[in-house]
Amino acid sequence: MSAIVYIARYIILSLSLIFAIAVLGLSGRATDASILFLGGIAPFEIINLVVAPLTIVALSIILFVGAFRQGAITSMIWVEVTTLSIIWPTWIVVAVFATNVINFNFPLGCAAYIPFYLQLCSQITAIQGLAWTVWVLLMGYTLTLGIMARVATSRGIPVWSKSVKDATFSLPASPNQSVQMAPKPELQANHQHAHLQLPLQANHQQPILQGSAPQNNPLGYGVTHANPIPSQTPAYPQV
């Protein structure tokens, strides 16, 4: 899971960095045209020239400092979540302003105007598409990473002070954990049969003692003889 999150992080942040550079270039060309032909800078162009460089600097630090320095503070998850939570809402502003400029100044589409306005309209349209894309990428990654870190913390796994590359978002399976399998029916039957035979065998092996009935003596005690001696009449010699 950590490897998948790390790869997704690298792709999303790299694409956002490339798109931010493209927005900065397009905003620079649009600003030059506005100063040359319109005599001023539009408010949305000022916003673009602030948000795009800020994003480029932040994403460059997050990507490259963590790649060359192990355990850098800029690579910690809480730093990434906090920084990106500040950046991605600004791209909503860029996208909304670009959309309003296109709807207000070019309601018929870019192809309906002269080449100068066609070029300016195309640039603003490209800024609009890139801004919405950067917003979706950064917001989706930030929310996903924050939720995963929160769930891992609730399970007792400290991940906020680690980088995405080194973090573990789930507990590994215990190697000593054994799976208990149910005994086979035939073994259960033999086991039960053995329990039933044990009392019978014990009773069969008990010795049987036989004796004569007790005889009363004058003192009142019963005496039992295992081998009773038969009464005999003494023989007298014949005279």
| Residue range 72-118, pLDDT digits in tens | 788 889 999 999 999 999 999 999 999 998 898 888 888 888 887 88
Note the pLDDT of residue 184: 52
Average pLDDT, the chain: 77
Q: Which long-range contacts (CB under 8 A, 24 or more apart) does 208-214 make?
A: none
* Distance in angstroms (rounded) separating the CA atoms of residues 148 and 151: 5
Give helix 77-105 / helix 115-154 axis angle, nearest 10°: 150
Decide if 222 is inside a domain: no
Domain contains 194: no
Asked whether residue 67 is assigned to any structural domain, the reply reads: yes
Least confident of 87-91, 180-184, 223-227: 223-227
Tokens representing 30 are: 């649009």
Query: Greater confidence, 117 or 171?
Result: 117
Cβ–Cβ under 8 Å, residues 222 and 215:
yes
In a domain, 191, yes or no: no
For residue 203, being part of any structural domain is answered with: no
Task: Give the C-alpha separation, 90 to 115, whole Å.
Answer: 31
pLDDT band at 120 (very low <50, low <70, confident <90, very high): confident
- Structural domain span for residue 136: 2-154
The pLDDT value given to residue 173? 52
Asked if the model's pLDDT at residue 179 lies above 50, the reply is no
48 lies in some domain: yes
pLDDT greater than 50 at residue 157: yes
The answer to whether position 223 is within a domain reads no
User: 171 or 97: whose pLDDT is higher?
Assistant: 97
* Within-domain flag for 202: no
Mean pLDDT calculated for residue range 155-162: 86
CA-CA distance, 203 to 200, in Å (whole number)?
Answer: 5
| 43-60 helix and 77-105 helix, angle to the nearest 10 degrees | 160
For the chain, what is the domain count?
Answer: 1
* Of residues 55, 29, 15, 23, the one with CA closest to residue 127: 23
**For 125-131, what is the mean pLDDT?**
94
Number of H helices, E strands in the chain: 6, 2
Report pTM: 0.68
Q: How far is CA 11 from CA 66, 75, 92, 148, 165, in A?
A: 15, 16, 21, 18, 14
Name the token pair of 83.
Answer: 């920084």
pLDDT of residue 175: 52
Q: Which residue has the higher pLDDT, 33 or 98?
A: 98
